[in-house]
Amino acid sequence: MNRNVDVLQICSYYVGTKLYHKLFEALEKFNIEEDVYIFTDKDFKERNEYPSNVYLSKCYNKLDRLFFHIKHKKVLNDIENKVNIDKYDIMHAHSLFSNGYIAYKLNQKYNIPYIVSVRNTDVNVFFAKMIHLRNTGISILRNAEKIIFISQAYKEYTIEKFIPPKYKQEIKDKSIVIPNGIDEFWLNNKFIERNSGNESNKINIIYAGTIDSNKNIGTTVNACKILIEKGYDVNFKIVGRIINKRYCNFINKNEFIKYIPYSRKEELINYYRDSDIFIMPSKHETFGLVYAEAMSQGLAIIYTRGQGFDRQFAEGEVGYSVQYNSSNEIVDKVMRILRNYKTISNNCLNKVSKFDWNSIAKEYVTLYEKI
């Protein structure tokens, strides 16, 4: 390639997660020149300093969030005032509706191609509940050069559920799956000396993340009770911040549960190493970075069928999918894992490199260059 590719990253979620920081840092190791445009409401409190190529714009009021087109008209006016749109070769919108709409409108005016990523909120909030915006979402998809899904499951669900039959093949043809990556800490500290896990009737289960109804910890607790009734000695560590306070009593009344408040990764890694299986039967999950983090420590994983992590690997390769509300199916999959623990654990350690940000960045660079 003779020159760098200039990319405008439209990413309103940049301030809420380090995920995008990692992606953009990895991209800059290649021939990518990028600016990041972030839009927030005027009351947003900045807690960090951002790199010089990051435009943080407080351009709408909180009330504007209730009115999609009013909010995004303000964002469009702002981005055109702050950013020289003509200098970019490509735009990457990191969500379908909020960010994708901005790229779509700029494409109509400046004829700069864009790709768009589809998030959990796009599928389970905008498409599912905001029916008046569905045609807008479909137009954004149809005009994109490429559509990025984090998982095969989300790709198939979105196309099957929300795309009219006459557009399905068109959308399929331009859709690709690129997963998220995990912090290099986990890849640099893989746990190699894991036991087979099935030499006794003791099972150490762990969950790490926010504790709320979506993560569905109650189903895992019920599965633990069934395993105990079957004669297994079960310990269940729950690590994270309690968002829904009803879980306080729920956790305290079960002796086999050990609750650990939010832990930094340097502490969490030891909890993973003391465990055998990671279980998170979320109702909705765009991806679920914690599954991949747990894999790096050789933990077999149980994840939700049809959600973000499903079909990243073949069934039984690094763990199993389950129906999110089926305790009995979790029990069945735990017992399957125990029968083949060493192989599954080794698979986790060998295959977690799929989530290396540098490898993922190479996929994006290839995509940008082709477009």
Q: Do residues 113 and 107 touch, judged by C-beta distance below 8 A?
A: yes
The HSE-up count of residue 96 (CA atoms within 13 Å, CB side) is: 28
Token reading at 335: 């017992």
Token reading at 103: 């790229």
Indicate the residue type of 345. S
Q: Do residues 344 and 317 touch, judged by C-beta distance below 8 A?
A: yes
Q: Topology of 5-181+356-370 in CATH?
A: Rossmann fold (3.40.50)
Phi, psi torsion values for 99, nearest 5 degrees: -80, -40
**Pairwise CA distance, residues 64 & 56, whole Å:** 18
Please report, in tens digits, the pLDDT of each residue of the chain (371 residues total). Answer: 456 899 999 999 998 788 899 999 999 898 799 999 999 999 888 877 888 899 999 999 989 888 999 999 999 999 999 999 999 999 999 999 999 999 999 999 999 999 999 988 899 899 999 999 999 999 999 999 999 998 888 899 999 999 999 999 999 999 999 999 999 999 999 998 666 555 578 999 999 998 888 898 999 999 999 999 999 999 999 999 888 777 777 788 889 999 999 899 999 999 999 999 999 999 888 788 999 999 999 999 999 998 889 989 999 999 999 999 999 999 999 999 999 999 999 999 999 999 999 999 999 999 999 99
Q: Do domains 5-181+356-370 and 184-355 have the same CATH topology?
A: yes
Q: Do residues 363 and 178 touch, judged by C-beta distance below 8 A?
A: yes
**Pairwise CA distance, residues 138 & 133, whole Å:** 9
**Pairwise CA distance, residues 193 & 51, whole Å:** 40
Q: Provide long-range contacts, Cβ within 8 A and 24+ apart, for 97-100.
A: 97/68, 97/121, 97/122, 97/126, 97/133, 97/136, 97/137, 97/140, 98/12, 98/72, 99/10, 99/11, 99/12, 99/13, 100/137, 100/140, 100/141, 100/144
Which residue bears the tokens 């019920």? Answer: 222
By residue count, the chain amounts to 371
CA distances (Å), origin 107, targets 123, 141, 161, 172: 23, 12, 27, 21
Phi, psi torsion values for 202, nearest 5 degrees: -90, 130
pLDDT at 1: 44
Residue 235 backbone zone (phi > 0: left; psi -120 to 50: alpha; other: beta): beta
CA distances (Å), origin 288, targets 3, 91, 117, 181: 36, 26, 16, 10
Q: Do residues 365 and 30 touch, judged by C-beta distance below 8 A?
A: yes
Q: Provide long-range contacts, Cβ within 8 A and 24+ apart, for 160-165.
A: 161/127, 162/123, 162/127, 162/128, 162/134, 162/137, 162/138, 163/138, 164/138
What are the boundaries of each domain within the chain?
5-181+356-370, 184-355
CB atoms within 10 A of CB 132: 7
Cβ neighbours of residue 340 under 8 Å, at least 6 residues apart? 316
281, with CB counted inside 10 A (0-12, 13-18, 19+), is buried
pLDDT at 195: 63
Candidate CATH numbers 3.30.9.10, 3.40.50.10860, 3.30.450.20, 3.40.50.2000; the one for domain 184-355 = 3.40.50.2000
DSSP 111-168: ---EEEEE-HHIIIIIIHH-GGGHHHHHHHHHH-SEEEES-HHHHHHHHHHHS-HHHH
pLDDT at 332: 97
The HSE-up count of residue 351 (CA atoms within 13 Å, CB side) is: 18
Token reading at 145: 């050069």
